[in-house]
Amino acid sequence: MKLKLDNVNKQLGGARILRDINLEIAAGEFVVFVGPSGCGKSTLLRLIAGLDSICAGDLLIDGRRVNDLEPRERGVGMVFQSYALYPHMSVYDNISFGLKLAKTEKSSLRERVLKTAQILQLDKLLQRKPKELSGGQRQRVAMGRAMAREPDILLFDEPLSNLDASLRVQMRNEIARLHDRLRSTMIYVTHDQVEAMTLADKIVVLNGGHIEQVGSPRELYERPASRFVAGFLGSPRMNFLPARLQAPGETSLVDATVLGMTTLPFDSSNLAADASLSLGVRPEHLSLKAAPGAAGVVVTGVEYLGSETYVHLDTGQDEPLICRCEVNAGWQTGDRVELQLDTDKIHLFDADGTALKRHPHAIESVADDLSLRSIRARAL
């Protein structure tokens, strides 16, 4: 089933919780909502499920306005973060509970419970009570409860956040497989970046009750439309360096703190000279080279993670710059290094945090004055 939110707004106690939400979700799509705590993710799911009412705007399921339909009339199932199972009931009874309430005929009820249990690999556990199950198995029972009624749309609100790390990975894979098999439309809220990146066909980034950006994981990671999205997705997060626009134009002459004066392939024609900017670069797009003598910037810390190391650099800003390096790169605290970065991989944001457009033809024209497209840090 496809879903459309048309200018949806929600107020609670005088506060605007959701502002002008416009979103289209295709049938069978896996959509993930992310955003900081309190940005409205759960509220939006509850509006879709019909557990809360929409103040203004329309919710359409397959073209039909459903604002005034009861939750059970919408064909939507929801799995909550705190999925309390009925402790005295067996797995079978937990899964069949909603079907019984809906007065499903006995033989078709049994058939649906068995089918759901089979999909979730719970078929051998049907007689057990929740306390006789592992965390992951309980989580699957909670999903079974939502799925047994065969909803066309499944909503998940941080379903894995109670599980330990290895179980999360296992369940994440199971949810991906479940989606492949069922092909129902799924909307999934998570704080976990890996879940968002790996599960989503489409990620919706929410911030303070409005949508910042919608796109595939790759689009959002590689072409964030705002500094907020750029900083939100990715771990360690994108580094931001303060910069000043020297000469606006189709390409921009920019003075960027440690990097010095440089021409960058971004269109700043709509900005005034001297506008403040921030230059964003992800930790994996920075590379380091030993600096001679007292040149370059100082390594202030090295974090060893086994598969990679994070090198922290002092650039005179509040936060250190973080560079993701190979484990064998050999940097040590106190080393002096030059930064190198690829202008194809950097981002430039204006003072409001809006990403400047990359100039389509500018890359070649500026490549010459950026020898090898790398920028050398000047000594601080």
Ligand X SMILES: Nc1ncnc2c1ncn2[C@@H]1O[C@H](COP(=O)(O)OP(=O)(O)OP(=O)(O)O)[C@@H](O)[C@H]1O
Q: Report, in Å, the least distance between residue 159 CB and Mg ion.
A: 12
Under the criterion CB under 6 A, does residue 40 sit at the interface with ligand X? yes
Stretch that binds ligand X, among 38-46, 60-68, 267-275, 286-294 (CB under 6 A): 38-46
Under the criterion CB under 6 A, does residue 38 sit at the interface with ligand X? yes
- CA 180 → CA 86, 186, 189, distances in Å? 29, 11, 18
Q: Which does 39 bind (CB under 5 to 8 A by kind): ligand X, Mg ion, none?
A: ligand X
Q: Residue 192 or 342: which CB sits closer to ligand X?
A: 192
Q: How far apart are alpha carbons 113 and 104 in whole angstroms?
A: 11
Stretch that binds ligand X, among 39-47, 146-154, 263-271, 371-379 (CB under 6 A): 39-47
Stretch that binds ligand X, among 10-18, 194-202, 291-299, 327-335 (CB under 6 A): 10-18
Q: Residue 81 or 90: which CB sits closer to ligand X?
A: 81
**Are the beta carbons of 200 and 172 closer than 8 angstroms?**
no
Dihedral in degrees, nearest 10, Cα atoms 368, 377, 354, 343: 30
Q: Residue 80 or 92: which CB sits closer to Mg ion?
A: 80
Residues in contact with ligand X, shown as a per-residue x/- string from 65 to 104 under the rule CB under 6 A:
----------------------------------------
Under the criterion CB under 6 A, does residue 12 sit at the interface with ligand X? yes
Q: Which residues pair with 290 in a beta bridge?
A: 337
Q: How far apart are alpha carbons 337 and 311 in whole angstroms?
A: 11
Return the number of other C-beta atoms located less than 10 Å from residue 26's C-beta: 12
Under the criterion CB under 6 A, does residue 41 sit at the interface with ligand X? yes
How many chain residues bind Mg ion (CB under 5 A)? 1
Q: Give me the phi and psi of 134, to 5 degrees please.
A: -75, 170
Stretch that binds Mg ion, among 3-11, 38-46, 91-99, 133-141 (CB under 5 A): 38-46
How many chain residues bind ligand X (CB under 6 A)? 12
Q: Which does 280 bind (CB under 5 to 8 A by kind): Mg ion, ligand X, none?
A: none
Q: If residue 240 lies in a helix (H) or strand (E), which one and from where to where?
A: strand 239-247
> Which string of DSSP letters, residue by residue, matches 318-377?
SSPEEEEE-GGG---TT-EEEEEEBGGG-EEE-TTSBBPPBPTTHHHHHHTTSGGGB-PP
List the structure tokens of 258.
Answer: 């440690």
**Are the beta carbons of 133 and 141 closer than 8 angstroms?**
yes
Closest residue to Mg ion, judged by C-beta, is 42
Q: Which of 42, 96, 139, 278 contacts Mg ion by CB under 5 A?
A: 42
Stretch that binds Mg ion, among 40-48, 90-98, 133-141, 224-232 (CB under 5 A): 40-48
Q: Residue 193 or 300: which CB sits closer to ligand X?
A: 193
Q: What angle do CA 240, 299, 322 make, to 5 degrees?
A: 30
Task: Give Cα 105 distance to the centre of its chain.
Answer: 41
Q: By the criterion CB under 6 A, which residues form the site for ligand X?
A: 12-13, 15, 17, 35, 37-43
Q: By the criterion CB under 5 A, which residues form the site for Mg ion?
A: 42
